């Protein structure tokens, strides 16, 4: 696992907004360009305090996406965490938009711990297509320290979403919401995806 600083601004620490860690679990062999494309999309983010944590699962065949994410969450002190597939990308305003939505939601209800944006599907020989699914989203780290991802590859995001909805049903406090106007998670359509997303 390695931590990659995306922006290196000369601001003092006090002037920077909350740090966002972007966790990428990589299953690709060395030299695969998809991971480089994902990291480049982070370098282009308009949000000024972003860094990547890359967990290399390529040579760990028994390691799952869920266990790798849990490991990354423990390794960082960033208060906000999001997740990006090694074959996917974010539009330049994706993180800034999620942080803005997160902050607005927190003002409305302190129980909010997650917000998500929509998907834009893309791939070889296809024009980008808006999809009503949702991205893994942006989380409060404190929540993820106590509510771990299930140690699986398939449906890891769906199962976490169901868990947050269950917690909300128990006490009536909202935990998560999805923006219906932003589709900044660029999901690549291709046959090899370890996260179990249904492909057409």
pLDDT at residue 180, rounded to an integer: 83
Classify residue 102: in a domain, yes or no.
yes
Phi, psi of 68 (to 5 degrees): -65, -40
DSSP SS3 for 51: strand
User: Among 80, 76, 96, which residue's Cα sits nearest to residue 20?
Assistant: 80
Classify residue 195: in a domain, yes or no.
no
Q: In what order do the strands lie in the sheet with 138-140?
A: 2-5, 50-56, 20-26, 80-83, 138-140, 114-116, 176-178
Torsional sign, CA 142, 71, 197, 21: positive
Classify residue 140: in a domain, yes or no.
yes
pLDDT at 5 over 70: no
Provide the whole-model pTM. 0.89
Classify residue 23: in a domain, yes or no.
yes
pLDDT at residue 65, rounded to an integer: 93
Tally of structural domains, the chain: 1
pLDDT at 200 over 50: no
- Give the CATH number, domain containing residue 91: 3.90.550.10
Domain that holds residue 39: 2-189
Run of H or E residues at 22: strand 20-26
Classify residue 196: in a domain, yes or no.
no
Classify residue 199: in a domain, yes or no.
no
pLDDT at residue 126, rounded to an integer: 84
Tens of pLDDT, residue by residue over 48-105, are 999 999 999 988 877 899 999 999 999 999 999 999 999 999 999 999 999 999 999 9
Q: What percent of the chain has a predicted confidence (pLDDT) above 70?
A: 91
């Amino acid at each position: 696992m390695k931590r990659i600083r995306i922006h290196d601004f000369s601001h003092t620490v006090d002037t920077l907004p909350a740090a966002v860690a972007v966790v990428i679990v990589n299953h690709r062999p060395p030299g695969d360009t998809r991971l480089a494309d994902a990291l480049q999309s982070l370098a282009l983010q308009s949000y000024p305090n972003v860094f990547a944590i890359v967990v290399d699962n390529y040579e760990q065949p028994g390691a799952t996406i869920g266990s790798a994410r849990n490991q990354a969450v423990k390794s960082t002190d960033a208060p906000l965490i999001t997740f990006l597939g090694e074959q996917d990308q974010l539009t330049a305003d994706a993180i800034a938009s999620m942080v803005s939505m997160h902050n607005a939601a927190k003002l409305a209800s302190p129980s909010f711990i997650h917000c998500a944006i929509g998907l834009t599907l893309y791939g070889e020989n296809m024009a980008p297509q808006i999809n009503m699914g949702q991205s893994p989203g942006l989380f409060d780290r404190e929540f993820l320290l106590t509510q771990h991802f299930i140690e699986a590859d398939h449906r890891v995001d769906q199962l976490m979403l169901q868990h947050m909805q269950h917690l909300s049903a128990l006490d009536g406090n909202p935990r998560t919401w999805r923006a219906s106007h932003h589709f900044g998670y660029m999901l690549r359509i291709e046959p090899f995806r370890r996260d179990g997303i249904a492909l057409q």
